[in-house]
Amino acid sequence: MVGAGKRWDKLTDYPWSSLPLYTKWKSKRPTWLEVGDVFDDLRLDDNARGREAYSDYMNRRSIKV
C-alpha cells in the first residue's frame, strides 16, 4: 500500500488514512476522534513530540506489512 515502489510513499499520503487526523493539534481534530487510548497504549503524550513519534511508528509499521 505504501513504501518504496508503491503508489504512496508514506501512510500520511494514503488518502483513506486517519493518521493525518491523529497528528493534528487537538483543537484541529474532529470532535469525534479520541486519540487518548492509542497514545496511552504506546506511552505517548498528545503533544508535538508524541504525535510525531506516533506518525513515525505507524509509517514504519505500514512499510513492514
**pTM (2 decimals)?**
0.80
pLDDT at 27: 92
Mean pLDDT, 10 residues at a time, the chain of 65 residues: 73 86 93 94 96 92 70
Nearest-angstrom CA–CA distance, 1 and 43: 27
User: What pLDDT is attached to residue 1?
Assistant: 67
DSSP-derived secondary structure letter, 38: H
Chain-centre distance for alpha carbon 2: 13
